[in-house]
Amino acid sequence: MALELDARQRAMLEEMHVRVWWPQAPAVVPAEPPAAVAAPVAPPPAVARPAPVVAAAMPVAAVPLSATVPADDGRAAAIAAMDWSALQLSVAGCEACKLCGTRKNTVFGVGPVAPGADAPPRVDWLIVGEAPGEQEDLRGEPFVGQAGKLLDNMLRAVGVSRHGEVRGAQAAFIVNVLKCRPPGNRNPALDEVAQCEPFLKRQIALLQPRLILAVGRFAVQSLLAGSVPDVQTQPLGRLRGKVYRYEGVPVVVSYHPAYLLRSLPEKAKAWADLCLAMETLRSP
> Is position 196 an interface residue for ligand SF4 (rule: CB under 6 A)?
yes
Closer by beta carbon to ligand SF4, 184 or else 284: 184
Question: Toward ligand SF4, which CB reaches closer, 95 or 247?
Answer: 95
CA distance 128 to 119: 20
For the beta carbon of residue 153, count every other beta carbon within 10 angstroms.
Answer: 15
User: Is the Cβ of residue 5 or residue 63 nearer to ligand SF4 in the bound state?
Assistant: 63
Interaction between residue 99 and ligand SF4 (CB under 6 A) = yes
The H or E element spanning position 261 is: helix 257-262
By beta-carbon proximity to ligand SF4, the closer residue of 196 and 236 is 196
Binding status of residue 20 toward ligand SF4 by CB under 6 A:
no
Using CB under 6 A as the binding rule, whether residue 128 contacts ligand SF4 is answered as no
The rounded distance, in Å, linking the Cα atoms of 92 and 138 is 14
31, 69 contact by CB (below 8 A): no
User: Is 178 one of the binding residues for ligand SF4 (CB under 6 A)?
Assistant: yes
> Do residues 46 and 25 make contact, with C-beta atoms less than 8 angstroms apart?
no
Q: What's the CA gap between 232 and 222, in Å, rounded?
A: 9
Per rule CB under 6 A, is residue 179 in the interface with ligand SF4? Answer: yes
Nearer to ligand SF4, 41 or 196 (CB): 196
Does residue number 97 form part of the binding site for ligand SF4 (CB under 6 A)?
yes
- Measured from the CB of residue 5, what is the shortest distance to ligand SF4 in angstroms? 38
Question: b/e map of 75-104 (b: 16 or more CB within 10 Å)?
Answer: ebeebeebebeebbebbeebebbebeeebe
Q: Smallest gap, in angstroms, from Cβ of residue 145 to ligand SF4?
A: 20
Q: Which of 91, 113, 200, 239 binds ligand SF4 (CB under 6 A)?
A: 91
Site string for ligand SF4, 258-277 (x = CB under 6 A): --------------------
List of residues 6+ apart from 183 with CB closer than 8 A: 99, 102
Stretch binding ligand SF4 (CB under 6 A), from 96-104, 132-140, 205-213, 274-282? 96-104
Asked if 180 interacts with ligand SF4 (CB under 6 A), we say yes
Nearer to ligand SF4, 100 or 205 (CB): 100
Reading phi first (left if > 0) and then psi (alpha if -120 to 50, else beta), residue 11 is in alpha
**Nearer Cβ to ligand SF4 (178/264):** 178
* CA atoms within 13 A of residue 36's CA, in its CB half-sphere: 6
Q: Taking the CA of residue 114 as centre, how many other CA atoms within 13 Å lie in the half-sphere pointing to its CB?
A: 1
Question: Does position 79 bind ligand SF4 by CB under 6 A?
Answer: no
Dihedrals phi, psi of 210, to nearest 5 degrees: -80, -20
Residue ranges in contact with ligand SF4 by CB under 6 A? 91, 94-97, 99-100, 106, 178-180, 192, 195-196
